[in-house]
Each structure stands twice: as structure tokens, then as C-alpha cells.
């Protein structure tokens, strides 16, 4: 039998060790709430989870750069609410890019259209 480290609690209960396991509890629930608020606020634009279909990191880069510049201005000008908004937007864009990387790795990314094109939102929403 392989030796396995377990945690024994003061009550005597035993659980497996967390070593090497993913730790979502390392992400602040306050920060997650802020990012979720960004997606909630933007849900009427294209749908809160529209990005689940996939947007390549190169295609969110310009947005990241704009929000980063706006973040700089808001910090320099001591505009705390704008700073919060820009940090939310930056985090959301990073999530979109990371999501794309993972769905490509898993073979889940599909391209039903031949190219990126400009379309009128009233025709697709």
C-alpha cells in the first residue's frame, strides 16, 4: 500500500492532503465578485457568456491596451471608481483570452465563419 499524507483535524476527522491540487480558494471572492460584475453589466451588449464561443488573445489585445491606458489615467487622476471599472475590464479581457487558450487546447474551438467581419448588431442580436 502506498503511503499517503492525510490531514488529521483536532476532531479526529481525516481528509486527503491538498498538495498538488488546484486551489480556487486562493482567488479572492471580492475580486471574483468584481469581475462577475463586469460581465453582468455587459450582458446586454452581446450576452454575458458570448466569449465562451472563443475570441483569440490577439483579438482582445487592443482592448486590454486601451483599458490599461485608461487605468493609468484613472490612477494618476485619483479616480477610484474609474480605476475599479478599468481593473474589472482588464480582468474580464484576460479571462476571455485564457478561456480561448483552453478551448483550443481541448479541441473545443470552432470557426463557423471564414473570417472576422464587421456586422450590424441589429442583424445578429
Give the H/E segment covering residue 56.
none
Integer angstrom CA distances of residue 33 from 21, 91, 98, 102, 111: 23, 11, 18, 22, 31
**29-82 confidence digits (pLDDT tens):** 999 999 999 999 988 778 889 999 999 999 999 999 999 999 999 999 999 999
Integer angstrom CA distances of residue 21 from 8, 14, 40, 45, 102: 18, 17, 30, 37, 18
pTM for this entry? 0.83
Q: Report domain extents, the chain.
A: 28-107
Amino acid at each position: 500500500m502506498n503511503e499517503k499524507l492525510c490531514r488529521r483535524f483536532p476532531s479526529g476527522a481525516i481528509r486527503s492532503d491538498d498538495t498538488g491540487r488546484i486551489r480556487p480558494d486562493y482567488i479572492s471572492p471580492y475580486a471574483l465578485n468584481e469581475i462577475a460584475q463586469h460581465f453582468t453589466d455587459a450582458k446586454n451588449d452581446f450576452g454575458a457568456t458570448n466569449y465562451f464561443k472563443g475570441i483569440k488573445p490577439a483579438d482582445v489585445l487592443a482592448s486590454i491596451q486601451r483599458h490599461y491606458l485608461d487605468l493609468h489615467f484613472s490612477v494618476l487622476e485619483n479616480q477610484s471608481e474609474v480605476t475599479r471599472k478599468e481593473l474589472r475590464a482588464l480582468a474580464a479581457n484576460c479571462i476571455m483570452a485564457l478561456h480561448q487558450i483552453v478551448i483550443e487546447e481541448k479541441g473545443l474551438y470552432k470557426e463557423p465563419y471564414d473570417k472576422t467581419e464587421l456586422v450590424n448588431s441589429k442583424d445578429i442580436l
